[in-house]
Amino acid sequence: MIVPVADLSHPGLQPYAHLTEAQLRNRLEPDQGIFIAESPKVIRVALDAGYQPVSLLCEEKHIAGQAADIVARLGELPVYTGSRALLASLTGYELTRGVLCAMHRPQLPSVEQLCQKQKRIVVVDNVVNSTNTGAILRAAAALGMGAVLFSPTCCDPLNRRSVRVSMGTVFQIPWTYIPTWPRPAMEQLNGLGFKTVALALTATAVPIDHPALVAEERLAIVLGTEGDGLTQSTIESCDYRAIIPMQRGVDSLNVAAAAAVAFWQLRPRS
């Protein structure tokens, strides 16, 4: 259903302009929570993965253009549309692809449900940068990780920028939150058959290509925050500690870059 927008007061525009990320998430009432997906490619991935749309915000020229198939899939749901200048004033920036979609947040699985059949999982602890979160999700999906677990202090994986940086892989790779990290969640992972390896600069760390790591049947790769990394208690709780050997005096990589290296090296071999 096409809904032309002449000004910014239309109540249907609230999710796109007037609500903060926290208000969109609405964790107190998760069944009512929504998020915003941006660009036709990302929106298609979300729809293909079964995510349920609420409405679309689209430049006029894209309704019969690059978003035509998305508009058709929305059926009778509202498709708000206006000029590029109006939409830029609404969202506060020029829309790079001219299409936004408000979607219902999914019901997240439990840790047990998510990890039951996986050989490699990722645990992300206190990573608060949405760009890094999106990049980690994209690398995990591309490099064979089975699932991603986020500690409660992490950036929201469905944050608008995180979704965009992930190129929609947040809709493809299974993920959920892991409560009460690191304990008793660490024991829970061990009980599910996983050994844990912390990416950490410690004296007891082994190289990331150590044969023992590659040989583990089920392995959880644990990543820490951008600045300080993992806490000492988390590092000590893990079965292994590993480093990526560096050259030219470089001590470490950005967490998203380090994640990609680790995922490739420790990917499941069968």
DSSP 157: T
How many C-beta atoms surround the C-beta of residue 251 within 10 A? 7
Q: What is the pTM of this model?
A: 0.90
Residues 127 and 156 sit within 8 Å (Cβ to Cβ): no
Low-confidence ranges of the chain (pLDDT < 70): 8, 18-32, 90-97
What does the pLDDT read at residue 25?
A: 66
What does the pLDDT read at residue 28?
A: 40
> Read out DSSP for 43-79?
HHHHHHTTPPEEEEEEEHHHHTTTTHHHHHHHTTS-E
Residue 40's φ and ψ, nearest 5 degrees, are -55, -40
- Give me 178's structure tokens: 């892991």
- Give me 148's structure tokens: 């991603």
- Give me 83's structure tokens: 């000029």
Q: pLDDT, tens digit, for every residue of 138-176?
A: 999 999 999 999 999 999 999 989 999 999 999 999 999
Positive or negative, the CA dihedral 182, 187, 191, 193 is positive
| Cα(136)–Cα(10) distance, integer angstroms | 36
What does the pLDDT read at residue 215?
A: 94
What does the pLDDT read at residue 135?
A: 97
| Cα(134)–Cα(168) distance, integer angstroms | 9
What does the pLDDT read at residue 27?
A: 43
